[in-house]
Every structure is written in C-alpha cells, then in structure tokens.
Amino acid sequence: MQTEILDRQKKAQEENAEITGSQALLEALIIEGVNTIFGYPGGAIMPIYDALYDYNDKLEHILVRHEQGGIHAGQGYARTSGKTGVVFATSGPGATNLVTGLADAMIDSTPLVCITGQVFAHLLGTDAFQETDVINITTPVTKWNHQITDANEIPEVLAKAFYIAKSGRPGPVLIDITKNAQLQKFNYSGYKKCTHIRSYRPKPIIREEYIKAAADMINKAQKPFVIFGQGVILGEAEQEFKQFIEKGGLPAAWTILGLSALETDHPLNVGMLGMHGNYGPNVMTNQCDVLIAVGMRFDDRVTGRLDRYAKQAKVIHLDIDPSEIDKNVKADVPVWGDCKQTLPMITNLLEKRNHENWLNGFTECMKQEVEAVIDEEMHPKTDVLTMGEVIDQLNELTKGDAVIVTDVGQHQMVACRYAKFTKSKSNITSGGLGTMGFALPAAIGAKYGAKDRTVVAVIGDGGIQMTIQELGTIMQNNINVKILILNNRFLGMVRQWQQLFHEKRYSFVNIESPDYVAVAKGYRIEGNSIEDRSKLVSALDTMLKHDGPYLLEVFVGKENNVFPMVPQGCGVSEVRLK
C-alpha cells in the first residue's frame, strides 16, 4: 500500500499530469489511506461520482439510503477504526441532510472529512437549483470548513482537511466543491500530506511544573478518584491510562464516551458516571479529595448541578483542548496536552499505592446498588423481560468481545450500564448530541471499521424508526450487523421523565411500531421477535450465529425505568436509587 502511494505521487510529479479536480480528490483520498466512503450522489457531485467509476477497485463506496445515514456510518467507521470517516453528499438537500451528523461528530470529537458538491461557481448566490449556503450552515458544527471553486486548490485543501480532522482534538471537516472545480482539468503535481498549519496548534505544549504538581497532589491524596472520557480512546492512550491508575491504585469511572477504554472487569474500574451512572461514582465524586479528570469535558449529564459538584475536591484536569480547562469545572492543576504523553509523565512520578479502604467504599456502594436496582433488573420477579437482562445475556454470549452500537434513550443507558467490554473502541454511541436514529447507520460504519468483529446495534422502538431506511444499505451490501430492538412500546426515556417529573402525563410518547420482522423480511433480512424469557438466550444465540445481518426484536417491560438517576438540577450525590 505504502509503496503504491509513493508510486502514485512520483508518477504524478514526473508527468505533471493533467487531471480533473474530481480525480485529484480521489487521488487525495487514496494517499490519505482511505478505503471506504459512505455517500449518496446527485447533480452537483456527479463529476466526482463519474471519476469514482474508475476507482472502484481502490475505493469502496457504500451507497446509503439517506445522507444522515451516510454521515452516521462515517462516524461509526471512524470510532471503531480510529481512522477518519469519509462522506460524500450532493449540494442543497444532500448537504443539509448532513447537518445532524456534523453536529454529532463535532460534539463527540469524531474525525470526518465530508465532501459536498456545490453548484457552479458562477451560480453561487443566485438561488440556483439545489444551491444552499453550506459553508455558513455548517460553520458552527465543523472544526473547519472550506469551499473550493478552483481545482488547483484541491490537493492542498484536502491535505489540510485530513490533517485538521484527525489531529489534536478531532472533529468533522466539510469541503464544499463547486461543480466547475470538479470538472476542471489542471496540472497536477502530486499530493503532499499536511503536517503543519501556522495558525493551528493541535497539541498544547506540556509544562513540566504542572505534571509535577499533579503527581504531588495524587501522591498526597487519601481519596483520589479518576474520571475518564473519550480522550483516552482518541489519544490511543489505553495502556498509558491503565499503568497510571494501576501504579497509583486509583479507582476510575467513565463517561459513556470513555466506556471500553478500560476493560469492564478491571479491578479499578468502578463504573459509570452521570445521570444514569453507577451509585458509587456519583456519590464518591462528592467525597474524594482529589478528582483527576482525563480526556473528558464535564458535560452536564456527568456533573449534574455544578455548584454541588466535587466542591470538596482539588481538581486535576488533563485535556488536549485548552478551551475545556476551566470551562465548566475549575481546575487546580491544568495539565494541557495529549494524555498519551502526559499520563506516563505523571505515572513516572507516582508512588505505588493501593487505596484499599477508599476502594472498598466503591464496593459498598455497588452492593447497595445491586440490592436496590441491579438484582431486580437482572432477575425480575415478573414474566416481563427487562432491558438489563437482555444485555446481560448478550454479554454471556459475546464474552464482552462485541462492538455495541447504541441509539438514544433508556436502552442506551441500560446498554452502557450493563454491557461488558474487553477491548477499546467497542462502545459506539451518540453521547453529546443524543441523536436518535444514530445506531443503525453507525453500526453499518462500525462494521466496515472493524470487519472481523461482531457488531450489535441496540436500538429502541423509537430510534429505529428514525433511520430504518438504512436496512436497504444493509440488504444491498449484505452487511453483517446484528440489530437488537428493545421494544417497550413507548418513547421510553421521555415517558420516564413524564412519569417522574410530569405527574405521569404521558404526552405523545405512545409510539406504535410496524411488524419489524416483516419489514426486515421486506429487505431480505432475517429476523425474529420474542417476548418470553425462555426464548431469550436461543434467540440471541441465533442472531449472533447467523451468517449475515439479522434483526431481533425483544419486547420488554412497558413502564420500566432506568435507575440510578441524578434528576436534572440536582447534585451528583443526590443520585436516586428508585
């Protein structure tokens, strides 16, 4: 591969070849190591699709059913592969259909390069057919965007796009290319990867005094507590992180985007933070003496009420993005930098510890949670299935080896709470934006990003109906994803809030579903639907063993709630067990 890329570059330079903008774009993708594109054609991007016709052997293009599906697939791909997702869409409606995914990728720091076609440059601003001001629409939801009107710009701008998307704190980049630039022939003199932009500093430089201060503070702590987010995964610092907590004997809890960075069964993994997180991590946040945040951004779903958040603790914050430091929670020691570098520097200075008593506190909390919540979720006294037991059985069968992609709602919280993981990059969910409809297309991308792994999409009966058209993509490409619908016949999470905070005034949460097995069948996808506990294990097993995509609908309790819960407007220590 590498030699081929060099050859291509050399050849281009020697020949000083005349190629079109579209070809230059595809050359750029190949040199950037792209092999999968999710997209949908249309008038303004036709020259690129025409060029793609000749690149079929080098670039696999997946035709999705809706551009939102395309971009979520790109996100799923990026999150399991650790590479940059690439998405194509046409101008106007094609481009506006990307907006939800861009916002999702922006807030969840997912590296994407989206290419949109645009009308001819001379038509810009004339309300031409399918012209929208894509650059301005997408500015707040992209890390960077740029419009190309001249093919000569393509190599350089694409190089910048890939560099910006992936470096530092990753994010989505959108490049809008006018049709004339796609068609234009120009003197191509090869593609140079970008490694520096003078106005852009992807990684802040590390200051040793803060490393020392952090280590000192941790060494002196009696009750240190680590909370970690996706920064550990994005920085590929899983090993460094593990060594850090192991040496310091530091209990560690995760945000849902940090989930799977540390294996579930690790003795120092004390569980999930936030609104539906575990009891211990929430309560202990307000008891620890030093709170060490690693690659996480203190989202309000994690912190609850800020003025009641960890007020007793000294805070050490490790983040690659300087604007995150002091944004929500004031840091006593700001450790700006890439945690792949800063963590080992701190670990070096740590004294070996094991905070046994302090850790036991977490175990105690877990016991309380098991009694109050988990026992009933895993072994309900009624015949009606719970979401928790479905996930639990799934764990048994996959041995924590699967990629779990979740949609948004109760099933998402339950899956994050109970799914087990042995490998990083295995929990794919829409965290910051909470985008219903994310899971089905994201699972498609997740599978392309991790072809040899089992991918299970866990989706609610609401969310599946938001992007159900992507069954068509699964059908056409025979994508081996397992679709597990947890059907509670309600928009469950909203219903839970209405029950708890709106006197059970169930306003428009009653949602009907089609016969999903029949729908799947219509798409030539096998499926099954069950309601009985006795059929659960075999149904899950059949789904997992099936050679190809499979849809399994499991009916679960209609009015089950997810607990523990930190109600909105409450502090984390006010976490409710029922």
Catalytic residue list contains 493: yes
Query: Interface mask (CB under 6 A) for ligand TPP, residues 441-480, using x and -?
Result: -------------------xxxx-----------------
SS3 content of the chain, % helix, strand, coil (to 5): 45, 20, 40
> Does residue 549 have a cis peptide bond before it, meaning omega lies within 30 degrees of 0?
no
Residue 435 sits in the site that holds ligand TPP (CB under 6 A): yes
Catalytic residue list contains 130: yes
Catalytic residue list contains 272: no
Catalytic residue (choose from 143, 160, 166, 179): 179
Query: Interface mask (CB under 8 A) for other proteins, residues 300-329, using x and -?
Result: ---------------------xxx--xx--
* Binding span for ligand TPP by CB under 6 A among 129-137, 301-309, 475-483, 491-499: 491-499
What pairs with residue 187 in β-bridges? 18
Give φ, ψ of 72 to 5 degrees. Answer: -65, -35
Alpha carbons 485 and 539: distance in angstroms, whole number: 12
Contact partners, residue 535, CB within 8 Å, separation at least 6: none
Q: How far is the CB of 380 from ligand TPP (least distance, A)?
A: 17
Query: Among other proteins, ligand TPP, none, what binds residue 460 when CB lies within 5 to 8 Å by partner kind?
Result: ligand TPP
Which residue is listed with tokens 């802040």? Answer: 204
With respect to ligand TPP, which residue has the nearer C-beta, 204 or 567? 567
DSSP string, 247-302: HHT--EEE-TTTTTSS-TT-TTEEEE-STTS-HHHHHHHTT-SEEEEES----HHH
Catalytic residue (choose from 9, 130, 341, 469): 130
Residue 488 sits in the site that holds ligand TPP (CB under 6 A): yes
Alpha carbons 132 and 134: distance in angstroms, whole number: 5
Nearest of 101, 140, 106 to residue 439 by alpha carbon: 101
Alpha carbons 490 and 493: distance in angstroms, whole number: 8
Number of residues that bind other proteins (CB under 8 A): 32
Query: Interface mask (CB under 8 A) for other proteins, residues 181-220, using x and -?
Result: -------------x-xxxxxx--xxxxx-x----------
Number of residues that bind ligand TPP (CB under 6 A): 20
Q: Which of residues 374-413 bind ligand TPP (CB under 6 A)?
A: 407-411
Residue 143 sits in the site that holds other proteins (CB under 8 A): yes
Q: Taking a C-beta distance cutoff of 8 angstroms, is the pair 263, 234 a contact? A: no
Catalytic residue (choose from 106, 493, 543, 565): 493
Among 162, 225, 336, 418, binds other proteins (CB under 8 A): 336
DSSP state of 447: H
Residue 490 sits in the site that holds ligand TPP (CB under 6 A): yes
With respect to ligand TPP, which residue has the nearer C-beta, 408 or 455? 408
Residue 1 sits in the site that holds other proteins (CB under 8 A): no
Q: How many residues does the chain have?
A: 578
Query: Among other proteins, ligand TPP, none, what binds residue 196 when CB lies within 5 to 8 Å by partner kind?
Result: other proteins
Alpha carbons 479 and 486: distance in angstroms, whole number: 21
With respect to other proteins, which residue has the nearer C-beta, 135 or 370? 135
Among 43, 202, 344, 434, binds ligand TPP (CB under 6 A): 434
With respect to ligand TPP, which residue has the nearer C-beta, 27 or 389? 389
Query: Among other proteins, ligand TPP, none, what binds residue 554 when CB lies within 5 to 8 Å by partner kind?
Result: none
Contact partners, residue 56, CB within 8 Å, separation at least 6: none
Residue 101 sits in the site that holds ligand TPP (CB under 6 A): no
With respect to other proteins, which residue has the nearer C-beta, 198 or 545? 198
Q: Which of residues 147-176 bind other proteins (CB under 8 A)?
A: 147, 156, 160, 164
Q: Taking a C-beta distance cutoff of 8 angstroms, is the pair 143, 171 a contact? A: yes
In the β-sheet with 403-406, what is the strand arrangement from edge to edge? 427-429, 403-406, 455-460, 481-487, 550-555, 526-530
Catalytic residue (choose from 11, 13, 14, 129): 129
Instruction: Locate 108 and state its tokens.
Output: 């969840």
Q: How far is the CB of 91 from other proteins (least distance, A)?
A: 17
Give φ, ψ of 134 to 5 degrees. Answer: -65, -40
Q: How far is the CB of 285 from other proteins (least distance, A)?
A: 23
Rg (CA), the chain: 24
Q: Hey, is 144 helix, strand or coil?
A: strand
Give φ, ψ of 466 to 5 degrees. Answer: -80, -30
Alpha carbons 480 and 101: distance in angstroms, whole number: 23
DSSP string, 1-67: -HHHHHHHHHHHHHHT-EEEHHHHHHHHHHHTT--EEEE---GGGHHHHHHHTT-TTT-EEEE-SSH
Query: Among ligand TPP, other proteins, none, what binds residue 352 when CB lies within 5 to 8 Å by partner kind?
Result: none
Question: How many other C-beta atoms can be found within 10 angstroms of the C-beta atom of residue 374?
Answer: 21
Catalytic residue list contains 496: no
Which residue is listed with tokens 């059929």? Answer: 535
Query: Among other proteins, ligand TPP, none, what binds residue 409 when CB lies within 5 to 8 Å by partner kind?
Result: ligand TPP
Instruction: Locate 299 and state its tokens.
Output: 């989202």
Q: How far is the CB of 297 from other proteins (least distance, A)?
A: 13
* Binding span for ligand TPP by CB under 6 A among 10-18, 52-60, 294-302, 434-442: 434-442
With respect to ligand TPP, which residue has the nearer C-beta, 290 or 554? 554
Q: How far is the CB of 562 from ligand TPP (least distance, A)?
A: 8
Residues that bind ligand TPP (CB under 6 A): 407-411, 434-437, 460-463, 486, 488, 490-494
| Residues taking part in catalysis | 67, 129-130, 179, 493
Binding site for other proteins (CB under 8 A): 135-136, 139-140, 143-147, 156, 160, 164, 194, 196-201, 204-208, 210, 321-323, 326-327, 334, 336
